[in-house]
Chains A and B, each alone.
Chain A
């Protein structure tokens, strides 16, 4: 009842009008109000919290079992059905694979009206040699249309010694690319001596111990390289 009284009070009703509205007596309304005022004055807040917490622990109608089955389902969904990866396949090609969870398809459907089983998939190869990719700064981009339902591809015609990361996404109504997942970065192999030299400086610094983090792409890196905002991380 107190909540209702407060609500009506906020609308500017007098106690008499409130009593009428709630179908009770003025006395009862005033009693509730006075009680509430007193609790505010006595700074009961702290005690309030404690009490509430105690009673909650005691008779919580919502039981929370330690390992709810839904939790495991979420683990499997987020790790087993969501993600993208890239591997070096040859000097000029990469193997790229992905899984898009239905939760994301739901978002695309609700937001853009894009249907999982009807849309065209777009695979984007971004040349990110010597830079940290921020979504917009690739040196060059190659975009490929894939058949609906595809979950992996071999991307050829890439350049040796260049680094790439890939994105899988869809096109919206206006043909703009909407990225859904992004792969790890890979560096394609060097195939001749001319390719060497780019990392000479970094290697020297690394060997001398001046770099805390390697300034090149590493597989399953134990450094959180791409999340760091460091001066010694090179951005060309």
Chain B
């Protein structure tokens, strides 16, 4: 004969939040339910059921039973309706209005076992943070432990609401078993090897299946003890348990239990006597069968699926509870300066609101409103000033868990606030993501700023193949690499929109702990985020414009260019100040965007004075150049105006009589083929080397090896390239043109020759080749020159000056109005 173990669970969603309603009839609903609860306790005490009942009610209800207000009004309620509640009143008086005494007695008698649950019966599936979930579970447990000196090992999911992962939280809180809808266990993955037994969840929680057919039968008012018996017997027979580990759980709502208990009892007694079923404590069951239980994945589950209308009508309260929880969690885990009482009260409002969500109806909408409004008010206090009077009132009105008190948890200390000035910098490019000069510029700038005492927080785009990351790159420099939601978006415009939204989010997160003095945005790409943040925080916005779409294309011709041009306009309009790298750019802005020149600051691009001395590459050793040869190096885009034709002409002549000098030309461009042809036809292959495009380290190698550098441009509006060679302290020959002529002093920090004058260039090269000491001095002086005028040290100072000026201007404007 088959037999099975069984448990009976009685649960009651007692309307605890009703206690805090201002309307008497709402509070009476709680007292009515409490009267039914008393009836239940009475029954349990008097009846001789041969098995304990597992009781699940919102733990906070036990706390409420201790409250004088509850006891007073409950007494009034019972006395007013004493015809209906004669027995209950008697029982109530017997225990001197302290029902917990009754429960304690029943626990000792082993007639009752308590299942812990979320403090206010809030479905854990609605909770959103680990701290929120553990707080509700822990508080629920603590109430039971403190009031009854009872250690609950079983947990009840309110409404049987479960989703994978919650088992971990429940297990971590110290519980051993729980219950879920039978169907969920029936369809576990993998399928259970035996139906009708308990299983173990992925995180080790033992779960008993609830037989829904029994619930249905009980709920049917017309069924009788025979129906119940027959159903149980057929269940027992249906599950063929070789190891007798079948466990049938009946989970019944309290009012149904009360109505049907006499039939139920009769049925149960018969079955127990006949040996079909036997009670086993979950602990004993676990001890006996734990090795044999299947460990399976359990899917999302709940006892009564809410009608879609419940979410549709009351969805906003579910959402409110979530956003409330997130803020509560943050304020509880970070050392933010907030009034503890307000935070404690916020917790209570949230607990009560989430408890209501287990069964939202039109009747308790008002209660939900009540708590939502109070929570909003409390959150507004935390941002501004406190209305202590209101808080005091509210504390009195809504007071649960005053006995258990608030635990003061260790809180995460915020970064120690320094008195350093703090800049938020947005740049879509930053090493190692370098596309053009922007990234290199921002790297140099941020380094310089932190050396000079600024605290810099830089938000940039992360490589789409990698995860987001935050790094303390060095003292005072924090780099955050983010990815937009649509990081795989192919359309660049959309990708940038996504990036801006993600940067905004990141900046706001930082803004929770850091008070920035200003924002700096590099080019239009990050403009939308920068402008939005400026408005949010009301701090000055500085924009560095590296290049314009108009300038790049010589005008605006396509839709895309128009779009970008508009974004540049908007950003310029939103900014408090604009930094450009040359007067040429300044003119461009004034002309194209009609910017007031007072708003524009010209700060040239800086250059990194550090040159590392690791020799890692072989670009030079690949070339057939002996160590004793002198190398004359030139590099740049191979276009006519860079004057490499003159360079080759000089090389040709020199090679006729001087075998100690060789020439290296690096770069790519339209003139490549022509230069190659020239070298071949003049048989200069062993003396002149055209080596194409150079990577960063290859370039460094060449500069180091070079003995002389030549910049023979016919036209040079002055780019960074010119500065690079000087940084290597190599004696440099420059054309007397454009920006170069202004900087280099002939025979002192370089050799200046007229553009396109081959003979002058030859003389210059020979002079440097023949006079080693002079060449060395000239090289050193060239480097000093760059250091004086273009080092990041210098540029950093100037940038800070602009920062400071803009911040002061902004503050003055604020105080005037």
Specify which chain B residues have a CB less than 8 angstroms from the CB of A187 in the assembled complex. 164, 299-300
**Cβ of B497 and Cβ of A156 under 8 Å apart?**
no
Residues of A within 8 A of B535 (CB): 103, 106
Give CA–CA (A143, B801) in the complex, Å: 51
Q: Closest chain B residue to A13 by CB distance?
A: B742
Binding site secondary structure of chain A: mixed
The chain A residue sitting closest to B301, CB to CB, is A189
Bound together, the chains give a CA A197 to CA B166 distance in angstroms of 22
Q: Known contacts being A52-B453, A77-B508, A227-B468, is A199 close to B189, with CB within 8 Å?
A: yes
Closest to B166 in A: A219
> What per-residue 1/0 map shows which CB atoms of A63-91 lie under 8 Å from chain B?
11111111111111111111101011111
**Which B524-538 residues have C-beta < 8 A from chain A?**
527-529, 531-533, 535-537
Q: Does A190 contact B (CB under 8 A)?
A: yes
A99 touches B467 (CB 8 A): no
Contact assessment for B336 and A72 in the assembled complex, using a CB-CB cutoff below 8 Å: yes
A176 to B184 alpha-carbon distance, docked (Å): 40
- Known: A3-B801, A87-B125. Is A176-B494 also a contact (CB below 8 A)? yes
Partner of A110, one of B417, B517, B570, B784: B570
Does chain B have a CB within 8 A of A236? no
Indicate if A31 sits at the interface (CB-CB under 8 A).
no
Decide yes or no whether B104 CB sits under 8 A from chain A.
no
User: For the complex, what is the distance from the CA of A26 to the CA of B602, rounded to whole Å?
Assistant: 24
Q: State which of B166, B322, B420 has its C-beta within 8 Å of the C-beta of A85.
A: B322
Q: Which residues of B contact A196 (CB under 8 A)?
A: 187-191
Tell me whether B435 is interfacial, beta carbon within 8 Å.
no
For residue A49, CB closer than 8 A to chain B, the reply is yes
A203 near B299: Cβ-Cβ < 8 Å: no
Can you name the residue of chain A whose Cβ is closest to the Cβ of B508? A78
Q: Which residue of chain A is the closest to B485 with respect to CB atoms?
A: A179
**Is the Cβ of B164 less than 8 Å from the Cβ of A219?**
yes
Interface residues on B, range: 35 or more
Given A56-B420, A64-B419, A227-B467, CB of A220 within 8 Å of CB of B323 = no
Known: A107-B532, A112-B497, A151-B319. A70 touches B331 (CB 8 A): no
A44 to chain B, nearest CB (A): 10
Q: Which of B305, B322, B419, B798 contacts A90 (CB 8 A)?
A: B305
Residues of B within 8 A of A140 (CB): none
The one of B125, B168, B324, B504 that contacts A88, using a Cβ cutoff of 8 Å: B125
Bound complex: CA of A214 vs CA of B417, how far in Å?
39
Across the interface, B382 reaches (CB within 8 A) one of A76, A191, A206, namely A76
Q: Is A134 an interface residue when CB atoms closer than 8 A count as contact?
A: yes
When the two chains form their complex, are residues A78 and B300 in contact, meaning their CB atoms are under 8 A apart? Answer: no
B738 smallest CB distance to A (angstroms)? 10
Cα separation A98 to B323 with both chains bound (whole Å): 9
**Chain A contact residues (Cβ within 8 angstroms of B): what range?**
35 or more
Bound CA–CA A196/B505 (angstroms) = 40
Docked-complex contact B529 and A107, CB < 8 angstroms: yes
How long is the Cα–Cα vector from A52 to B793 in the complex, in angstroms?
Answer: 14
> In the assembly, what is the distance between CA of A207 and CA of B295, in Å?
7
Q: Contact mask B403-435 → A, CB, 8 Å, 1/0?
A: 000000000000001111110000000000000
* Known A37-B788, A207-B295; contact A64-B327, beta-carbon cutoff 8 A: no
Given contacts A154-B315, A172-B494, contact A81 B504 (CB under 8 A): no
Interface bits A133-161 vs B (CB < 8 Å: 1, else 0): 01110000000000000011110100001
Name which residue of chain A comes closest to B338, CB basis: A72
Interface residues of B in 772-817 (CB under 8 A from A): 784, 787-790, 793-794, 797-798, 801, 807-808
Complex Cα gap A117–B589 (Å) = 34
A218 to B299, CA, bound (A): 10
Question: Is the C-beta of A21 less than 8 angstroms from some C-beta in chain B?
Answer: no
Chain B residue nearest to A50 in the complex (CB): B453
Selected from A3, A161, A179, A191, the residue in CB contact (under 8 A) with B498 is A179
Residue of A with least CB distance to B539: A70
Q: In this complex, what residue of B is CB-closest to A200?
A: B190
Which of the candidate stretches B126-134, B238-246, B393-401, B666-674 sits at the interface with the other chain? B126-134
Bound CA span A112–B468, Å: 26
Interface residue B746 (Cβ < 8 Å from any Cβ of A): no
Segment from B249-257, B306-314, B638-646 that makes contact with A? B306-314
Contact present for B164 and A217 (CB under 8 Å): yes
Chain B residue with Cβ nearest A114: B497
CB distance from B562 to the nearest CB of A (A): 13
Asked if B497 contacts A200 (CB within 8 A), the reply is no
Contacts of B743 in A (CB 8 A): 10, 12
Do residues A203 and B508 form an inter-chain contact, with CB atoms below 8 A? no
Contact across chains for A220 and B202 when beta carbons are under 8 A apart: no
The one of A103, A151, A188 that contacts B536, using a Cβ cutoff of 8 Å: A103
Which listed residue (A89, A203, A227) contacts B202, Cβ 8 A?
A203
> Is B501 interfacial (CB-CB < 8 Å)?
yes
Least CB separation from B181: chain A residue:
A189
Interface contact A193-B187, CB-CB below 8 Å = yes
Neighbouring A residues of B41 by C-beta, 8 Å? none
Q: Is A9 an interface residue (CB 8 A)?
A: yes
| Contact indicator A154/B326 (Cβ below 8 Å) | no
B145 on the interface (CB 8 Å rule)?
no
In the complex, the answer to whether B531 meets A110 with C-beta atoms within 8 Å is yes
Most buried by B among A3, A13, A80, A188: A80
For A10, list chain B residues within 8 Å (CB): 604, 742-743, 789-790
B489 beta carbon closer than 8 Å to chain A = yes
Residues of B within 8 A of A193 (CB): 186-187, 191
List the A side residues contacting B125 at CB < 8 Å. 87-88, 219
Residue A222, interface by CB 8 Å: yes
Are the C-beta atoms of A191 and B187 separated by less than 8 Å? yes
In angstroms, how far is the closest chain A Cβ from the Cβ of B517? 6
Contact of A67 among B337, B508, B537, B741 (CB under 8 A): B337
Cβ-based interface call for A115 (8 A): no
Residues of chain A within 8 A of B295, CB atoms compared: 203, 207
How many Å from the CB of B812 to the closest CB on chain A?
Answer: 12
How many Å from the CB of B711 to the closest CB on chain A? 16
Task: Judge whether B741 and A107 touch: CB under 8 Å.
Answer: no
Partner among A67, A90, A207 whose Cβ is within 8 Å of the Cβ of B308: A90
- Encode A98-118 as 1/0 by CB contact (under 8 A) with B: 110101101110111000000
Q: Return 19 A-B CB contacts under 8 Å, by A number.
A: A62-B517, A72-B382, A75-B330, A78-B505, A78-B512, A83-B323, A93-B308, A107-B504, A110-B527, A134-B488, A176-B494, A179-B485, A180-B501, A187-B164, A187-B299, A193-B187, A199-B297, A203-B202, A220-B129
Residues of chain B touching chain A, judged by Cβ–Cβ distance below 8 Å, are: 124-130, 133, 163-166, 168-169, 184, 186-191, 202, 295-297, 299-301, 305-306, 308, 311-312, 315-316, 318-319, 322-324, 326-327, 330-331, 336-338, 379, 382-384, 417-422, 451-453, 466-468, 485-489, 491, 494, 496-498, 500-501, 504-505, 508-509, 511-515, 517, 527-529, 531-533, 535-537, 567, 570, 583, 602, 604, 739, 741-743, 784, 787-790, 793-794, 797-798, 801, 807-808
Report, nearest first, the 4 A-B pairs whose CB atoms are least far apart. Answer: A12-B742, A218-B165, A74-B511, A97-B319
